[in-house]
Amino acid sequence: MTRAGSEGPVTRLVIVGGGSAGWMTAAAVSRLTDAGVTVTLVESDEIGTVGVGEATIPSLHDFNAALGIDEDAFVAATQGTFKLGIEFTDWGRVGDRYIHPFGKYGRSVLGLNFHQIWLRQHLLGGREADPGRIDDYAISIAAARRGRFAKPSTNPGAVLSGLNYAYHFDAGLYARFLRNHAGARGVVRIEGKIARVEQTPLDGYITAVVLEDGRRIEGDFFVDCSGFRALLLGEALGVPYRSWQHWLPCDSAIALPSASAAPAVPYTRSTAGSAGWRWRIPLQHRVGNGHVFSSAHVDPDAALERLLDGLDAPAIGDPRLLRFTAGRREKLWEKNCVAIGLAGGFIEPLESTSIHLIQSGIFRLMALFPDRGFSRIEINEYNRWLVEEYEHIRDFIILHYHATARGDSDFWNHCRTMDVPDSLAARIALWREKGRIFRAHNSLFTEESWIAVLLGQNVVPRAADPLAAALPIGETIRFLNHMRDIVARTAEAMPRHEDYIAQHCAAQPVPAQ
């Protein structure tokens, strides 16, 4: 089950492409240089990076911590801000608004999940005290709405222990930050465009990449971070791409920065339109904006006009149009090449999962780092793990489009009525019965994430868990009132987001152009 005639360790690792994927990979594998591995990254300044999104999810903590990166230095270097969740506007119905929080709702009682306690009270309707919105019981949402931020508490009994956070940052500055980190640890950067890929004639393994000026970079193992082109895995090794566009019809994005009109809020905003959605990501020095849309339902000029109409402040750059097809490669690792980032697949930036998939691929690669035998068993395990993760994320993203009552455009009529993957249909059906949701193995998104979107987009179960009925109504009402009150008071006492940044991780001002 290993490559015949190849023995010994990998001693030459070549990363093709820079950007977030390339430099995150380089930073992570830089420690291999201590073991005698030569790590080379090939990129060209003439080839731009995509940089569609500048928002992340909490798992980035683990990546930065593994590299020993100081959080305050990282946030300051990348013009970063903090992110407590994502606000979704006009998704379930026009006029709806909810936040998908990073963190918990309330707290469990006697082993019963909090949302079941809230749901039982909600379904009682006018017969008993109204519990309000489930948003009122999440400290991450309460803080986000008030523009507040603090670190989570390590005391499991404290309300702040239910808070989690991620970051907004400039993706180009993050790549530069990691480039310096990797370079200081022995990673060699080579500037140049790749003209061709050399492979062995018998089994097709990659042996070298050759630059336009004739330089030849040999390697034992190659990491494809070349973006949508997938120069190695797609073009050279011929691994096909599996499209998910029938479920995720958005295939274009326009990105456009703007000035900051107000202090940065600690959340990303996603506003649904008639043929897609617009993002708003506040940084310290500017705001990142974009419009993700289906070109079958709106043309780029009209999409840009809608983006411009929704800006809070004047644009400070030129718009960039990006084309993509949601999906993934059939395999993420083939022969002696693994694809990280867009070369392996792209779902879309709705839940800020692109950087997570980069780091997940890197962590799994480090756990299964090969020798020159390239064990088929280990490669299959890598592919199984990453394919599962892509598909779990795919289902969660599809949920946002499908769980809607909107019928005001052909785009939303398609999304509302389309068939969805069986795995997603089963989850929705189980939820509709008694509000039950279980985190799948190897799934990025927690139960709270699914609860936030399902309830936020008006998918209300017909009943609550029967065990919730065992709780006395009076005690339940008092418990909910107390929980809602302490969440609100805790959020009010937190520092303002802009004050926290000013005290801990303010970036240097950007020079005037």
Sequential pLDDT tens for the chain (513 residues): 677 667 799 999 999 999 999 999 999 999 999 999 999 999 998 765 554 458 999 999 999 999 999 999 999 999 999 999 999 999 999 999 999 999 999 999 888 999 999 999 999 976 678 899 999 999 999 999 999 999 999 999 999 999 999 999 999 999 999 999 999 999 999 999 999 999 999 999 999 999 999 999 999 999 999 999 999 999 999 999 999 999 999 999 999 999 998 999 999 999 999 999 999 999 999 999 999 999 999 999 999 999 999 999 999 989 999 999 999 999 999 999 999 999 999 999 999 999 999 999 999 999 999 999 999 999 999 999 999 999 999 999 999 999 999 999 999 999 999 999 999 999 999 999 999 999 887 788 999 999 999 999 999 999 999 999 999 999 999 999 999 999 999 999 999 999 999 999 999 987 655
Give the CA distances from residue 252 to residues 78, 112, 144, in Å, rounded to whole numbers and listed in that order: 26, 43, 29
Instruction: Give the pLDDT of residue 6.
Output: 74
Instruction: Give the pLDDT of residue 54.
Output: 84
Give the CA distances from residue 451 to residues 111, 159, 344, 374, 461, in Å, rounded to whole numbers and listed in that order: 17, 19, 29, 41, 11
Q: Is 83 a catalytic residue?
A: yes
Helix (H, G, I), strand (E, B) or coil at 15: strand
The Cα angle at residue 313 between residues 307 and 315, in degrees rounded to 5: 60
Instruction: Give the pLDDT of residue 443.
Output: 84
Instruction: Give the pLDDT of residue 441.
Output: 78
Give the CA distances from residue 169 to residues 66, 165, 281, 501, 511, in Å, rounded to whole numbers and listed in that order: 19, 13, 9, 13, 18
Q: How far is CA 474 from the centre of its chain?
A: 41
Instruction: Give the pLDDT of residue 48.
Output: 58
Strand pairing category for 38-43 and 206-211? unpaired
To the nearest 10°, report the CA torsion of 398, 402, 407, 410: 40
Strand pairing category for 287-293 and 221-224? unpaired
Structure tokens at 507: 């970036």
pTM: 0.95
For residue 288, what is the enclosing H or E element?
strand 287-293
Helix (H, G, I), strand (E, B) or coil at 471: coil
Task: Please give the Cα distance from 234 to 55 (Å, whole number).
Answer: 27
Question: Which residue is catalytic, options 83, 104, 331, 335?
Answer: 83
Task: Please give the Cα distance from 313 to 79 (Å, whole number).
Answer: 18
Strand pairing category for 276-282 and 268-272? antiparallel
Is there a contact between 371 and 10 (Cβ–Cβ < 8 Å)? yes
Is there a contact between 437 and 431 (Cβ–Cβ < 8 Å)? yes
Q: Which 8-state DSSP code applies to residue 137? A: G
Task: Please give the Cα distance from 248 to 398 (Å, whole number).
Answer: 7
In angstroms, what is the C-alpha Rg of the chain? 24
Task: Please give the Cα distance from 260 to 498 (Å, whole number).
Answer: 13
Structure tokens at 72: 């305050």
Q: How far apart are the first and last CA of the chain?
A: 58
Structure tokens at 501: 């940044």
The residues, ordered by sequence, that sit 6+ positions from 290 with a Cβ below 8 Å of its Cβ are 52, 53, 253, 254, 255, 256, 278, 279, 307, 349
